[in-house]
Amino acid sequence: MAAMTDPAAYEAWYHTPRGRWIGQQEFSLLIKLVQPVNGQSLLDVGSGTGYFSRAFAEAGLKVTGIDPDTDMIHYAQAQTGTVDYLQGDARHLPFADNSFDYCTAVTSLCFVDQPVKALAEMWRVSRQGIVLGLLNRNSLLYRSKHNSGSYRGARWDRWTEVEQWVAQLTPVSIEHRHKTAISLPNGGSLSRLAEQLLPGRLPWGGFIAVYIARNTATISVSHDCPA
């Protein structure tokens, strides 16, 4: 993947055959966990180039994107779509309590040095729940690429750490739903074939999709393994 500091190159990666497939796999996991109603509102925290913001908007959500990087915001604003973007810090969201139905952070929380503080802010401004896309430290992807490309400098988390974060928000019961998409680190055609053949509950996927629901007080988790 392209370096995070170059918005155009980062976005271009998602339009390569491999990047397009990975982006679709990740978004599919996220949207299936949330199952939003058309017209509900969503705040995309760490929206970057707006790739996932636009995908959520195309799924029928009213989306606002927020990112600390001015270049990313300007790039996202120049793209077509209905998303509103503004510059801001995940740890200090400039919104009133319960402003959005959902909050999401897709591979952006891994670049925040105070993830619990950011998560608490997302919890504060959401009415229905939070959906996260995280990088899994217990994965084949971590072993092969954790210090390369746009993964450089990212924090890779374990599921036990995510549980600890959530425990600091509110007492919840934990419910796991695993839907694993498996690919080998090379991301080639054999990986995509394996994705379709292997069972969907293997724990070493490189991408963890997590939904923390306010109304049911449960956490749902899915694993994916892009490369």
CATH value at residue 171: 3.40.50.150
Q: Do residues 47 and 62 lie in contact, with contact meaning Cβ atoms separated by under 8 Å?
A: no
**Residue 34 belongs to a domain:** yes
**Residue 192 belongs to a domain:** yes
Q: Is residue 28 scored above 70 in pLDDT?
A: yes
**Residue 155 has what pLDDT?**
82
Residue 193 is part of which domain span?
7-224
**Residue 84 has what pLDDT?**
98
Neighbours of 160 (CB within 10 A): 8
> Cα–Cα distances in Å, from 197 out to 77, 88, 146, 191?
39, 42, 26, 10
**Residue 1 belongs to a domain:** no
Q: Is residue 187 scored above 50 in pLDDT?
A: yes
Which of residues 207 and 148 earns the better pLDDT score?
207
**Residue 2 belongs to a domain:** no
The SS3 assignment for 221 reads strand
Q: Is residue 101 scored above 90 in pLDDT?
A: yes
Which of residues 62 and 167 earns the better pLDDT score?
62
The arithmetic mean of pLDDT across residues 185-204, rounded, is 58
Which pairing describes strands 218-224 and 207-213: parallel, antiparallel, or unpaired?
antiparallel
Which DSSP helix (H) or strand (E) runs through 14? none
Confidence of residue 3 (pLDDT cuts 50, 70, 90): very low
**Residue 29 has what pLDDT?**
86
> Cα–Cα distances in Å, from 33 out to 75, 131, 210?
28, 8, 8
The arithmetic mean of pLDDT across residues 179-190, rounded, is 52
The number of distinct structural domains making up the chain is 1
**Residue 14 belongs to a domain:** yes
Which of residues 79 and 5 earns the better pLDDT score?
79
> Cα–Cα distances in Å, from 182 out to 80, 138, 143, 168, 169?
32, 13, 15, 31, 31
Give the integer Cα–Cα distance in Å for 182 and 202: 8
Q: Do residues 45 and 119 lie in contact, with contact meaning Cβ atoms separated by under 8 Å?
A: no
In the chain, % of residues over pLDDT 70: 71
Give the integer Cα–Cα distance in Å for 140 and 130: 26
